[in-house]
């Protein structure tokens, strides 16, 4: 398990419980050259007005860095301090890339970050704006982390500072008209030796760039320990669409003895090795030629004409799923049941039409089985995935 840490009497930067810990806080700019007092009092046309404190935090930013060799989706990642939390949008931070999370008032009067830090001009795709976290000058704690399900949190990288007295104000009148002034106030920056540095701000760059490491090596221990929590969204579409390059031969058997009919098929299997007709090789249960059971090819054709959409089921669709069938499946489905991974039935439908919809909002993420009982008494199944 890999931990990156910096410790000082007044502030420290550290790594937390490392689960998907390939992202690191590398810089924090907390003491801007705005006048950070609780309120600004002014008299306009004889009327006393106050300016909200949040307007005095323009220029604050938190910089993170992806030091793994894999591009990372920021969905379910968060930043938090002692009073607020900011959830990242679903976006990619590329391997070896920096990202800035800048404070501004939203949605109006947005402060364009490159206007304050001119070295970031042209790199707007690496800047995210937020209004949930206001960094305090004397004492604060900023944590970068990942949530598995919205209520289980894994803190990954933390920066903490605490001073005995309130730091001196860096107020510069009309500072927004002189961007170079923002580079005169030092920021807290990650560095392993010495333990930390206070240096000239360099957003989307770093005096010290952490070594790139293997993503697989970083998360190996956590994948083994927390495998039941892993989010496979990066790979699940590949798994669903994957067609294995092997073929399982269909099998037929001629039972001993005699029975009515001209056929000799006792049982058969589909291409995945599932028995699809015949229960045993004796008695009236043995399918005979001319009976109502469907052949392996017919069953495969029926299954291919059943559509489940969307699949996987996600919050984008409100966790609603629609099952419909057409073509070779029309008139051949007698009933439908959907089961969760524990075998509990969550939905059933006796077709009156060739389509049905239901919600999976209250179901835990996982794999569900949709069983279609055919008019022949045979069964075909399809998987439904939810996350």
* C-beta of residue 154 within 8 angstroms of C-beta of residue 92: no
Alpha carbons 309 and 311: distance in angstroms, whole number: 5
Domain range annotation of the chain? 11-231, 235-386
Reference 120, options 75, 67, 182, 66; nearest CA is: 182
Reference 56, options 166, 137, 163; nearest CA is: 137
**What's the whole-number mean pLDDT along residues 178-203?**
87
Q: What CATH class is the domain 11-231?
A: mainly beta
- Cα dihedral sign for 178, 179, 180, 183? positive
- Only one residue has tokens 């949190």, namely 153
Sheet architecture: strand order including 153-162: 11-15, 153-162, 139-147, 77-80, 85-87
Look at the pTM and tell me if it is higher than 0.75: no
Alpha carbons 334 and 199: distance in angstroms, whole number: 72
Task: Tell me if 11-231 shares its fold with 235-386.
Answer: yes
Cβ-proximal residues to 384 (8 Å cutoff; 6+ apart), any chain: 308, 311, 312, 313, 321, 338, 360, 367, 368, 369, 370
pLDDT in tens, 110-168: 888 999 999 999 999 999 999 999 998 889 999 999 887 666 788 888 888 888 888 87
pLDDT at residue 81 in the model: 94
Query: Residue 234's pLDDT band (boundaries 50, 70, 90)?
Result: low
CATH number attached to the domain at 235-386 = 2.60.40.3080
Alpha carbons 99 and 64: distance in angstroms, whole number: 5
């Amino acid at each position: 398990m890999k931990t990156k840490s910096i410790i000082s009497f007044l502030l420290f930067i550290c790594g937390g419980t490392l689960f998907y810990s390939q992202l690191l806080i590398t810089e924090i700019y907390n003491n801007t050259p705005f006048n950070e007092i609780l309120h600004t009092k002014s008299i306009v046309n004889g009327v006393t007005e106050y300016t909200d404190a949040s307007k005095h935090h323009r220029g604050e930013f938190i910089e993170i860095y992806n030091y793994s060799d894999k591009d990372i989706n920021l969905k379910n990642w968060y930043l938090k301090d002692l009073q607020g939390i900011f959830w990242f949008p679903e976006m990619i931070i590329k391997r070896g890339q920096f990202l800035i999370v800048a404070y501004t008032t939203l949605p109006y009067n947005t402060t364009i970050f490159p206007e304050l830090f001119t070295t970031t001009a042209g790199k707007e795709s690496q800047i995210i704006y937020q209004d949930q976290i206001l960094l305090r000058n004397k004492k604060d704690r900023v944590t970068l982390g990942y949530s598995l399900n919205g209520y289980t949190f894994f803190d990954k990288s933390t920066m903490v500072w605490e001073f005995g007295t309130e730091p001196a104000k860096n107020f510069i009148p009309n500072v927004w008209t002189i961007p170079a002034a923002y580079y005169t106030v030092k920021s807290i920056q990650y560095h392993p030796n010495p333990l930390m540095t206070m240096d000239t701000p360099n957003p989307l760059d770093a005096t010290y760039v952490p070594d790139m490491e293997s993503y697989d090596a970083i998360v190996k221990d956590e994948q083994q320990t927390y495998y039941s929590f892993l989010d496979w969204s990066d790979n699940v579409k590949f798994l669903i669409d994957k067609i294995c390059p092997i073929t399982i031969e269909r099998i037929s058997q001629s039972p001993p003895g005699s029975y009515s009919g001209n056929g000799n098929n006792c049982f058969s299997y589909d291409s995945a090795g599932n028995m699809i007709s015949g229960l045993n090789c004796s008695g009236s249960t043995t399918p005979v030629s001319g009976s109502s059971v469907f052949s392996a090819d017919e069953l495969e054709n029926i299954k291919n004409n059943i559509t489940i959409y969307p699949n996987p089921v996600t919050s984008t669709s409100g966790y609603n799923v629609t099952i419909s069938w057409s073509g070779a499946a029309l008139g051949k489905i007698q009933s439908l049941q959907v089961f969760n991974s524990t075998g509990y039935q969550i939905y059933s439908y006796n077709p009156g039409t060739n389509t049905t919809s239901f919600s999976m909002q209250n179901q835990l993420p996982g794999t569900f089985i949709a069983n279609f009982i055919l008019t022949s008494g045979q069964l075909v199944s399809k998987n439904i995935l939810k996350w």
